[in-house]
Amino acid sequence: MSGPLSGLKVVELAQIMAGPTCGMLLADMGAEVIKVEKMPGGDDTRTWNEPSIAGESAAFIAMNRNKRSIAVDLKSAGGKAVVRRLLADADVVTENFRQGALDRLGFGYPQVRELNPAIVYCSISGYGRTGPYSGKGGFDLIAQGFAGLMSITGEPGGAPVKSGSPIADINAGILAALGIVSAYIHRLKTGRGQLVDTSLMEAAVQQTYWQAAMFFATGVSAGPTGSAHLLTAPYQAFPTRDGWLNLGGANQSNWQRITRIVGAPSLADDPRFVTNADRMRNVPALAAELGALLRVRTTAEWLAAFDAAGVPAGPINRIGDALGDPQMLAREMVVEVEHPHTGRQRVLGCPIKFSETASRVRGPAPRFGEHTREILAEHGYGSEDIERLIADCAVGLPSADAVAAEPVEACA
C-alpha cells in the first residue's frame, strides 16, 4: 500500500526542526519530499553532531527520514535556476526563513505563485507573517516564554521552566502539515493554491487552551501546578516505595475507587475531599494524604491494583523505558531503517495509522546532497548540464561521491 499523500511533491526549503517536522510527517504519509539544502553545510542540524550515530548527526537523522537531499547554492544563478525548476511542478513548498530572506533570493510567495499559481506555499516563522513582530526570528525557547508556557510549567514558587521537549517547534510542524493538507484539499476542489502561514508563537499559545479559558473567565493568569491538574483532583504524580506514578481520579467514581484501593475509604467522606470542588480547594492536603498511603507499596504493585479496578494510572518512564515498552513496539513507534553507511538505525515511527493507505518509514535521513544528480536528472538536466552545475558549485554532492577534481569542500 502507498501512503495517503502518495503523488504529492513537496520542496522543503525549511531546516532545523519545525519545517522538517512538517516535511517528515508528509513524507511518512507518502509524499515525495525533496530537501533543498543550502551550500555550504546544509541543514544546520547536520553540524549538531553530538551525539552522533556513526558520525551522522542524531538531530538530523531524527527529523529527515524518507526525504531526498539536493545541495544547492541558493545565491548562485545556476542554483536559483535549479530551485525554480523544482518548484515549477511542485504541489507544496515549505520554508522557515526570516521574513524577507526568500523574497530577496527570488523565492518569496508572490514570486513562487507567479511561477506556479497552484502551489501551496507554507511559511513557518517565529511570530507569523503579519503584526509588529513579523520580522523577528523565532526559537522554541523564546516562543515558550512569550506565549506563557514557561509561566505555567514547573512547581509552584519555582523558576520558570520550559517543556522538556521543543513543543513549540514540534507543534508548529504539525500545524503546518495540517494546514498544507487542508490547502491541498481546497486546491483539489478549486485548482487554486494559497499561502499557509503559522508560527512558533501560535504553536505555543495553542497549548494554553485551558489556561487561556480560565483567564478569559476570571482575569487571573494561572501559575505552575507541577504535575497537578488545573481543574480536577486527584490528578497528578505521587511517590511510591520505589519511584513515582501518575494517578488520575478525574471523576467522582474514580475518586471513590482510589480511596478503596489505597485502604482509606473514609477519605471519600472527608469534608475536605467529598466533591471535586472540595478537593481542588485542598489539593496540598489531598496530595499529602494520598502520598503517605502510596509510599507503602511499589509502583508496579500499585499499577496492578489500579489497572484491575479500571482507575487511570501509569508509570513515569524514562525515555528509554518508554521506547522499550511493548505497547510502543506494538504500535510501531520504534522502527528500524537501513542506512548505507551506518547500518541499522532506530527511529521513531509515524504516529498516524491508516486502515487503507499505510504510513511508514521507507528510508533513513539522506546524506548532504545525496540525491543531487538523481533529482537534477528527473527534472530535465542532461549529464553535461549536471557536471557544469557541479563544477560551478551551483549544486553539491556528498564528498564520497564527488570526483577528485571537484570535491564538495572546494565549494565551501
How far is Cα 99 from Cα 133, in angstroms, rounded to an integer?
Answer: 10
**77, amino acid identity:** A
How far is Cα 14 from Cα 124, in angstroms, rounded to an integer?
Answer: 8
How far is Cα 266 from Cα 256, in angstroms, rounded to an integer?
Answer: 10
Residues comprising the chain, all counted? 412
Strand partners, 146: none
Retrieve residue 241's grid coordinates. Answer: 516505595
Burial 318-351 (b: 16+ CB within 10 A, else e): eeeeeeeeeebeeeebeeebebeeeeebebebbe
> What is the SS3 assignment for 395?
strand
Q: Which of 28, 43, 140, 169 is the catalytic position?
A: 169
> What is the SS3 assignment for 408?
helix
Q: Which H or E element spans position 320?
A: helix 319-323
Q: DSSP letter for 158, please.
A: S
* Nearest in space to 194 (alpha carbons), one of 107, 119, 103: 119
375 to 118, 182, 332, 390: CA distances (angstroms): 22, 27, 31, 13
How far is Cα 268 from Cα 217, in angstroms, rounded to an integer?
Answer: 30
Q: Are 21 and 169 in contact (CB under 8 A)?
A: yes
Q: Are 364 and 338 in contact (CB under 8 A)?
A: yes
**Quick check: is 169 catalytic?**
yes
Residues assigned a catalytic role: 169
